[in-house]
């Protein structure tokens, strides 16, 4: 799983948890309203109560199902915070005019919903949602007065005023929570970037910017595991050693030698795909890992690098001086351990150098030499 993939899965899990909490809150509200109904405090028929609050709760659960299915990912707001908040507010608003003695239950339900919105909305949308909650309760208040002409309008108005004040305070708290959330989010992104940069430093060669030996073993372990899971997965290895590189340092100095190593790294990077890896083992020794490729692909890539390297000018002072490299190519064969694959590529490189250098050799099937930190004959 990629880092981005992991982050997306984590965000989706958080959305699902929040949605389930919201659904649990709605279910708890229905239980309280049901207790009030059994006590005769809700002025609705059993069928009307069941239809209203059963349907309300069922649709509240649909949000969780949508998030669980992943169909929310393409939405502008994958958390669906606004529709969840607005839908959840319908229960307390509907209960309000039909249960005068449960006024506090409606108030507390709407306040909890208002606070819930602080965790997923920006300031402007959060303020708008809370204004809508206040307007909705205001409409319910008017409906209550119309349905119950003998209701105590004074106490109801005081209750509504207390709700408006509490909602204003919760809105302010929500603004502060949102500010903290955004600050923590920004710091978390900075931390992720810093950790990513640190990881890059640990897996990259400082001079060439290529991956280093440590990362090579991680890559090969992953590729081998993938090949064992999927018999159709292939990968090829190409060992590279620059020929007579000591002569470059002796003739032109180590500064020019470092420049040649960096230019070789550029050539190798250009010769492979983004999904492939170019690794510096150390000194003038390199490894190319070709993902989803076989020996023939490895040979073609090696020849491409060899030809481009042959045209590289080392110094204007000695324009005819050229750099060459020897290549050993093999691919991973199902069932073998990674050391066997490395040994076969190492043996092919040894054969290339023994055969006169500046050539590509594809490993024989029965080649077997120990890979112990470098290529056979490296630097010769």
- The domains of the chain, with CATH numbers, are 3-197 (no CATH), 211-362 (3.30.70.270)
Task: Give buried/exposed letters for 236-266 (b at 16+ CB in 10 A, else e).
Answer: bbbbbbbbebeebeeebeeeebebbbebbbe
- Rounded CA separation 305/325 (Å): 9
| 325 exposure class (CB count in 10 Å sphere: 0-12, 13-18, 19+) | buried
Q: What global pTM score does this model have? A: 0.53
Average pLDDT of the segment spanning 200-229: 89
Average pLDDT of the segment spanning 134-156: 72
DSSP state for residue 117 in the 8-state scheme: G
CA contacts within 13 A on the Cβ side of 292? 5
Confidence of residue 222 (pLDDT cuts 50, 70, 90): very high
Greater pLDDT, 262 or 103: 262
Residue 155 has pLDDT above 80, yes or no: no
């Amino acid at each position: 799983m990629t880092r981005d993939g992991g982050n997306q899965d984590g965000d989706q899990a958080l959305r699902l948890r929040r949605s389930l909490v919201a659904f649990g809150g709605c279910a708890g509200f229905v239980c309280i309203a049901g207790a009030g109904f059994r006590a005769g405090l809700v002025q609705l028929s059993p069928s009307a109560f069941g239809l209203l609050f059963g349907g309300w709760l069922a649709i509240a659960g649909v949000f969780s199902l949508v998030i669980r299915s992943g169909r929310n990912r393409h939405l502008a707001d994958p958390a669906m915070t606004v529709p969840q908040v607005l839908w959840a507010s319908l229960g307390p608003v509907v209960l309000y005019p039909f249960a005068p003695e449960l006024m506090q239950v409606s108030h507390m339900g709407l306040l909890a919903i208002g606070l819930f919105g602080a965790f997923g909305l920006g300031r402007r949308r959060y303020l708008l949602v809370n204004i809508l909650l206040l307007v909705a309760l205001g409409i319910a208040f008017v409906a209550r007065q119309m349905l119950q002409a003998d209701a105590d309008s004074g106490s109801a108005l005081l209750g509504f005023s207390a709700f408006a004040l509490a909602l204003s305070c919760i809105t302010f708290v929500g603004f502060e929570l949102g500010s903290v959330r955004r600050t923590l989010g920004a710091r978390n992104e900075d931390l992720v970037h810093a950790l990513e940069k640190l990881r890059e430093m640990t897996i990259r060669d400082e001079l060439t910017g290529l991956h280093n030996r440590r990362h090579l073993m991680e890559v090969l372990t992953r590729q081998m595991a993938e090949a064992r899971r999927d018999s159709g997965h292939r990968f090829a290895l190409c060992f590279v050693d620059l020929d007579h590189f000591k002569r470059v340092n002796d003739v032109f100095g180590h500064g020019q030698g470092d420049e040649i190593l960096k230019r070789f790294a550029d050539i190798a990077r250009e010769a492979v795909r983004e999904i492939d890896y170019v690794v510096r083992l150390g000194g003038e020794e390199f490894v190319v890992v070709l993902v989803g490729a076989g020996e023939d692909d490895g040979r073609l890539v090696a020849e491409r690098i060899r030809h481009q390297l042959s045209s590289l000018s080392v110094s204007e002072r000695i324009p005819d001086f050229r750099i060459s490299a020897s290549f050993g190519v093999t691919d991973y064969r199902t069932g073998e351990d990674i050391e066997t694959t490395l040994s076969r590529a190492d043996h092919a490189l040894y054969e290339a150098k023994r055969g006169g250098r500046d050539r590509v050799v594809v490993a024989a099937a029965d080649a077997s030499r120990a890979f112990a930190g470098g290529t056979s004959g490296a630097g010769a």
